[in-house]
Amino acid sequence: MVVVLLAANEERGAALRAFARGADGAAVRRGLTAERFHGREGQVVTVTIAGARRRLLCVVGLGDAAALDVDAWRRAAGRARQAAERHGAARVAIAVDERASSIEHIVALAEGFDLAGYRFDKYKSDAEHGVLVGELTLLTPTPLPAADVARRLGGVATAVTAVGTVRDLVNEPAAVKTPTFIAATAERLAADAGVEVEIWDRARIERERLAGLLAVARGSNEEPRFIRMRWRGPGARRRVALVGKGITFDSGGLSLKPAKAMETMKTDMAGGAAVIATMVAAGRMQLAIDVDGFVPATENLPGGKAQKPGDVIRFRNGKSVEVLNTDAEGRLILADALALAAADKPDLIIDLATLTGACIVALGPQVAGIYGNEQAVVDRLVTLGRETGEPLWQLPLVPEYRDDIKSPVADLKNIGGGNAGSITAALFLQEFVAGRPWVHMDIAGPAFTDKELPYAPKGGTGFGVRILLRYLAELAATPPDVPPRAAASHARPRRKPPLAAKRR
- Which parts of this chain interact with Zn ion (CB under 5 A)? 250, 327, 329
Report the residue number, 354 or 461, with the smaller CB distance to Zn ion. Answer: 354
When computed from its CA atoms, the radius of gyration of the chain, rounded to whole angstroms, is: 24
Residues 36 and 30: their CA atoms lie apart, in Å, by 10
Nearest approach, Cβ of 330 to Zn ion (angstroms)? 6
> Measured from the CB of residue 250, what is the shortest distance to Zn ion in angstroms?
4
Give the residue nearest to Zn ion (CB).
327
Q: How far is the CB of 187 from Zn ion (least distance, A)?
A: 26
Concatenating the DSSP letter of every residue in 119-185 gives: ---TT-TT----PPP-EEEEE-SSPPPHHHHHHHHHHHHHHHHHHHHHHHHHHS-TTTS-HHHHHHH
CB of 321 to Zn ion, least distance (A): 15
Q: What are phi and psi of 132, to 5 degrees?
A: -100, 140
| Closest-CA residue to 374 (of 400, 341, 347, 393) | 347
Return the closest-CA partner of residue 77 out of 58, 103, 64: 58
Residue 310 to residue 253: CA distance in whole angstroms: 13
Burial 183-205 (b: 16+ CB within 10 A, else e): bebbbebbeebebebebbebeeb
| Least gap, CB of 218 to Zn ion (angstroms) | 15
Compute how many other C-beta atoms are within 10 angstroms of the C-beta atom of residue 419: 10
Q: Give the whole-angstrom CA distance, residue 47 versus residue 238.
A: 53
Closest separation between CB of residue 291 and Zn ion, Å? Answer: 27
Q: Is 53 annotated in the active site?
A: no
What DSSP string describes 420-488? SHHHHHHHHHHTTSTT--EEEEE-TTTTEESS-BTTB-SEE--TTHHHHHHHHHHHHTS-TTS-GGGHH
- Of 330, 351, 331, nearest in space to 341 by CA: 351
Our CB check for Zn ion shows the closer of 82 and 356 to be 356
Catalytic residue among 204, 230, 257, 504: 257
Residues 6+ apart with CB under 8 A from 489: none
Catalytic entry in 266, 331, 380, 470: 331
Q: Measure the CA–CA gap between 284 and 190, rounded to whole angstroms.
A: 9
User: How far, rounded to the nearest angstrom, does the alpha carbon of residue 133 sit from its chain's CA centroid?
Assistant: 24
- With respect to Zn ion, which residue has the nearer C-beta, 329 or 442? 329
- Cβ(422)–Cβ(369) below 8 Å: yes
Q: Integer distance in angstroms from the first to the last C-alpha of the chain?
A: 15
State the nearest-atom distance from the C-beta of 199 to Zn ion, in Å: 24
By C-beta, is 273 or 289 nearer to Zn ion?
273
Q: Smallest gap, in angstroms, from Cβ of residue 357 to Zn ion?
A: 9
Buried b (16+ CB within 10 A) or exposed e, 69-98: ebbbbbbbbbbbbbbbbebebeebbbbbee
Nearer to Zn ion, 165 or 354 (CB): 354
Is 406 assigned a catalytic role? no
| Shortest distance in whole angstroms from residue 327 CB to Zn ion | 4
Nearer to Zn ion, 329 or 431 (CB): 329
Q: What is the smallest separation between the CB atom of 254 and Zn ion, expressed in angstroms? A: 11
| Helix (H), strand (E) at residue 45 | strand 44-48
Q: Tell me whether residue 421 or residue 462 sits nearer to Zn ion (CB atom).
A: 421
b/e map of 378-409 (b: 16 or more CB within 10 Å)? bebbeebbebbbbbbeebebeeebbebbebee
Measured CA distances, 349 to 273, 285, 346, 374, 378 (Å)? 17, 21, 7, 11, 12
- Which of 236, 177, 226 lies closest to 202 in space, CA to CA? 226
The residues carrying an active-site annotation are: 257, 331
